[in-house]
A and B are shown apart, each in its own frame.
Chain A
Amino acid sequence: MDDLLREFLTESAEHLDTVDTELVRFEQDPNNKTILSNIFRLVHTIKGTCGFLGLPRLEALAHAAETLMGQFRDGMPVTGAAVSLILVTLDRLKSILGDLEKTGSEPTGSDDDLIGALEQMASGPIGQAAAAAPPAAEYVLPPPVQRELKPGEVTLEDLERAFLEAEGPEDMAMAPAAADEPAPEPEPAPVAVMPAPAPKAEAPASGGDGEGGVSKVQTIRVNVDTLEHLMTMVSELVLTRNQLLEIARRHDDSTYKVPLQRLSHVTAELQEGVMKTRMQPIGNAWQKLPRVVRDLSSELGKQIELVMNGAETELDRQVLEVIKDPLTHMVRNSADHGIESAADRKASGKPLKGTIRLSAYHEGGTITIEIADDGKGLDLAAIRKKAVERNVASQAEIDRMTDAQVAKFIFHPGFSTAKAVTSVSGRGVGMDVVKTNIDVIGGVIDINTQLGRGTTFTIKIPLTLAIIAALIVKAGEQRFAVPQVAVLELVRVDKATAQTVERINGSPVLRLRERLLPIVTLTGVLGQEQPTDTIDSGFVVVAQVGRQRFGILVDEVFHTEEIVVKPMSSKLRHLPLFAGNTILGDGAVVLIVDPNGIAQQVSQGSQSGGVPMEAEVEEVVATDPKATLLVFRGGAGSFKAVPLSLVTRLEEIEASKIEWVGGRPLIQYRGRLMPLVPADASIEIRSEGSQALVVFSDGERAMGLVVDEIVDIVEERLDVEISAERSDLIGSAVLRGRATEIINIAHFLPLAYDDWTRGAGKVQKPTSTLLLVDDSAFFRDMLSPVLKAAGYIVLTAGSAEEALTMMITNSRIDLVVSDLEMPGRSGFDLVAAMRKAEGRVAALPVVGLTGTIGPEAIERARGLGIADLVAKFDRSGLIQALSEIEAAPLANAA
């Protein structure tokens, strides 16, 4: 009896879960007879078994629910309220089952409330809809719900069996017939539709219990421990086989070879077979989700649809257990935070119903699970802000991070950006647990989010944890196994070949297809000493963990082997660098390196300034100062370039429109006269055809630079290599492999307007001395002529240190213009140092130049008493700012 009860408990729990799911489907598709009859059958089975086992409370409840569902089948409209009621009933059933499991007997208590509600629901509407109520109540099971059920019960059981054993096709024909006539002959209806779902997956299981359909049994229940034991044994067998193969490799005795090969073959198949028994469809982990989403959507007042693809995708049950809860949590999260309310969705022009899409598919040795919602996406700005508030990262770090990196902060413990804590989520627990669980099984999780468009979480997890493919490598004196999943490729490095390890401040890096790959030596991360010269030869195992890519330098690479992962001893489990250990074919124990652990080490190194971490490509680009330059041809076919940011417009004019006034070329341009200046003395201004112009403007004045041809716009690192002695050129640089002259625009401006140097119609001021601080010689050269033209005596400094020295020694400096983004000591640091200095230097007015003016920069600048912030290429803005500073003391004096 005990066994029977246990069997019943397991099975009923499964059935109830299925009913949960099916009911939600049914609510959306009330005309689907198949779903309904499936539900009906399952509830009926539970009820029948309860009666058999003498569990009156469960039986009465199940019966009441069944009656209501019978009404659905007979044409009663399916309402949300009715479905909710049945769902509540199912929950009650589950809790009774739970108690039953704990105590072995049904708990005392009354379900009259639910039964009453169910009966009322069952009888109410049908009375109005049709006169079907009385016959409906005369099912094989009469309405006296309580204990007299048994005789009727048996009858139905018998009937059901009779139908199950009868041929199928007619039943299908009968089902619609029953539907056509709502009630007059209710008796055949329940039985008629019942066999229909019989071919479904659950059928053999239910057929197996007490119905005598032994021949139909295709599945048996096996204790999990038995399977686990079998798995362990097979693992051992695999190891033994590997050892035998290793021995056979060393001996030339061919008599062993054939049986050994067979053994090897059989072992492989056995292993596969046993692995299969551990495999379960991921749908098992999803079973509860439709119900969860349905409950949430009514609780939160949102309309949410859950779409599931690939539920049949199989994975190891051990893995399944681990991801079950995280998945549920993430779906809840998507429903709560991701999907907006119907009103918000309408406002942003989306369909009212939000969709959560859950999909799973195999990809190599891993399974990929995606949870996508079409909700509002992550508010990255809020996350950035929060990360700084919580001191998770500094502002500077945050600024440099890409969106994908920022999104990952949601996995930080205690990180919730939900404005209000709801009962569903927003308490800041959960996402970190999700991440931890996934990490534990060697999975990775990625986030792709678009504000207003939704968020997609992608989880990649290994199919199984028991046996993995691993690369056997040697580092120092020892061999290690590196899980193949993390390995992207192998690169041989050698001093003699093209692939060599280079160093930045002692940190090894490798150039790999135009990218720098940070390298760690395996012996290094394992804390072993090594002669430094060995670092330059060996193999680099290029590994990827999440989005981090790095190389692990090892001395030798042997082969790939299927290894059985054995857990680390409890004494060694705290070591993050090892995922476990295994016994190789030759009997040796090797440690399995955990790429996640190494990745952590690598990035820790980078925090302390050791190894540069190549986390994101964009980042690398961002730190590389590049200039956008306009390249044109001017004078004897030579290439010239000018920073694009200085250019106002590019024009192609008709040469015939060029007028000559007083020996100077001019054109009418936008209602004004614009002087033209050839970019090079050798350029002849055309008299026919079209003429290319580069227009520069400053306030109301504009100048056209006459060029032969506009070639290109390039974005490149600018190294002015040769500085020219001519005042019209700043120097030469290599752009796109061509030697190009960078022109000095300040040289041309006075050629266009004689008075340009004096500023637009302003009275010449007493000359002030200005110190221009910028690390880039290019910008110094670019700006000083402009500043000179504006009437300042310009001194330049290339670094904060140099600038400070100059300020202290040169008392004539009245003004400082400083780039704020310099390597080493930034402009902010410089100003901070100035403000701490004595007397005159501390009071010097400063104008800051910056590439981007953000609110933080403004805040900081204000704190340091920086008079004004000007964008780096905004020359007129700079002149304006300077003249305001000049004006201020005068105003004060007056």
Chain B
Amino acid sequence: MMQAANTNKPETDAGATNDFVTVFVGETMFGLAIDRVHDVFIPAGVTPVPLAPPEIVGLLNLRGRVVTALCLRRRLGLPARVGDGKQMAIGLEQGGETFALVVDGVGEVLKLGASTHEPVPINLDARWRDLALGVHRLDGRLLVILDVDSLLAFGAPRHVAGAA
């Protein structure tokens, strides 16, 4: 499984394919490079962290590890979900820390080649543009590939100035 040595950079090589875990937020389908995904689980017992950046939902216990859960909706600047369907979480790792990306749902793993890949449309919301690596044209719908490192690059300590 770890053979997929590709990074999450879009592959321009015609023959090569990349595997993506698809997730849903609302009606939009997103793809995450499979080598960055460690887990898929149902988030439970989330402890909210007061004063935390808005993207952070809280902390949760994933098999004895404390994991920081962040909400993809909030990260993308989308409104909170209406109704309470079961949420899912994707376990991501960065710099030795584990994060849980909370999404509305998780789909299948897709193997996609460069033939369907398109660059990020320039008219996209700036926030999305920063997070997206590209778009894949699929049958009847589009798949936005998200950059995991960009996703986790947030929460500049805004409170620090106030606390000093």
Contact = CB atoms under 8 A, between A and B. Distances in A.
Contacts of B56: 571-572
Nearest to A583: B61
Interface string B46-60: 011111110010111
User: Of residues B59, B64, B157, which shows the largest number of chain A Cβ atoms within 10 Å of its Cβ?
Assistant: B59
Given A576-B163, A577-B51, A588 B61 contact: yes
A528 interface: yes
Nearest to B55: A571
B120 to A, nearest CB: 25
A589 B69 CA distance: 12
Contacts of B50: 478, 526-528, 577
A569 B53 CA distance: 12
Nearest to B95: A570
A587 interface: yes
A566 B157 contact: no
B45 interface: yes
B1 interface: no
Contact of B68 (A572, A576, A588): A572
A573 B163 CA distance: 12
Contacts of A528: 50
Contacts of B99: 569
Nearest to B44: A587
A589 B61 contact: yes
Nearest to A573: B157
A176 to B, nearest CB: 60
Given A571-B56, A571-B154, A572-B56, A590 B47 contact: yes
A574 interface: yes
Contacts of B61: 583, 587-589
A330 B163 CA distance: 28
A81 to B, nearest CB: 51
A575 interface: yes
Contacts of A591: 47, 49, 59
A575 B49 contact: yes
Contact of B159 (A240, A566, A569, A575): A575
Interface string A793-833: 00000000000000000000000000000000000000000
Interface string A555-574: 00000000000100111111
B57 to A, nearest CB: 11
Contact of B59 (A527, A574, A577, A581): A581
Interface residues of A, number: 27
A600 interface: yes
A225 B97 CA distance: 18
Interface in B145-164: 154-155, 157, 159-160, 163
A236 interface: yes
A123 to B, nearest CB: 60
B157 A589 contact: no
B64 A583 contact: yes
A239 B64 contact: yes
A570 B51 contact: no
Interface string B2-36: 00000000000000000000000000000000000
A639 interface: no
A581 B51 contact: no
B64 A571 contact: no
A240 B51 contact: no
A478 B59 CA distance: 12
Contact of A578 (B49, B64, B68, B160): B49
Contacts of A574: 157, 159-160, 163
User: Of residues A478, A528, A589, which shows the largest number of chain B Cβ atoms within 10 Å of its Cβ?
Assistant: A589
Contacts of B59: 569, 581, 589, 591
A236 B66 CA distance: 12
A570 B160 contact: no
Chain B interface bracket (under 10, 10 to 19, 20 to 34, 35 or more): 20 to 34
A572 B66 contact: no
A572 B45 contact: no
User: Of residues B50, B66, B157, which shows the largest number of chain A Cβ atoms within 10 Å of its Cβ?
Assistant: B50
A478 B68 contact: no
B51 A526 contact: yes
Contacts of A571: 52-53, 56, 68, 70, 154-155
A583 B60 CA distance: 9
Contact of B52 (A572, A576, A587, A589): A572
Contacts of B60: 589
A572 B64 contact: no
Contacts of B68: 569, 571-572
Nearest to A569: B68
B45 A589 contact: yes
Nearest to A526: B50
B38 to A, nearest CB: 16
A838 B154 CA distance: 60
Contacts of B53: 571
Contact of A572 (B49, B95, B160): B49
Contacts of B160: 574
A478 B163 contact: no
B53 to A, nearest CB: 7
A570 B152 CA distance: 10
A588 B45 CA distance: 7
B126 to A, nearest CB: 21
A143 to B, nearest CB: 57
Interface string A574-618: 111110011100011111000000001000000000000000000
Contacts of A577: 50-51
B95 A589 contact: no
Contact of A569 (B51, B97, B163): B97
A856 to B, nearest CB: 30
Contacts of B64: 236, 239-240, 583
A600 B163 contact: yes
A590 B64 CA distance: 13
Given A240-B64, A566-B66, A572-B52, A588 B155 contact: no
A571 B155 CA distance: 6
Contacts of A236: 64
Contacts of A569: 59, 66, 68, 97, 99
A601 B114 CA distance: 54
A806 B45 CA distance: 68
B70 to A, nearest CB: 8
Contacts of B51: 526-527, 575, 577
Contacts of A570: 95, 97
A581 B68 CA distance: 11
Interface string B63-90: 0101010100000000000000000000
Contact of A575 (B52, B66, B70): B52
A588 B99 CA distance: 17
User: Of residues A527, A569, A588, which shows the largest number of chain B Cβ atoms within 10 Å of its Cβ?
Assistant: A569
A228 to B, nearest CB: 13
Interface in A391-428: none
Nearest to A576: B163
User: Of residues B45, B47, B49, B64, which shows the largest number of chain A Cβ atoms within 10 Å of its Cβ?
Assistant: B49
Interface of B: 45, 47-53, 56, 58-61, 64, 66, 68, 70, 95, 97, 99, 154-155, 157, 159-160, 163
29 contacts: A236-B64, A478-B48, A478-B50, A526-B51, A528-B50, A566-B66, A569-B59, A569-B66, A569-B68, A569-B97, A570-B97, A571-B52, A571-B56, A572-B49, A572-B52, A572-B68, A574-B157, A574-B159, A574-B160, A575-B51, A575-B159, A577-B50, A578-B49, A582-B66, A583-B61, A588-B45, A588-B61, A589-B45, A590-B47
Interface of A: 236, 239-240, 478, 526-528, 566, 569-578, 581-583, 587-591, 600
**10 tightest CB-CB pairs across the interface, nearest first?**
A574-B157, A526-B50, A569-B68, A571-B155, A589-B59, A589-B47, A576-B163, A574-B160, A589-B61, A566-B66
Given A236-B64, A581-B66, A587-B45, 11 more contacts: A527-B50, A569-B59, A569-B97, A575-B49, A575-B51, A575-B52, A581-B47, A582-B66, A587-B61, A589-B61, A591-B59
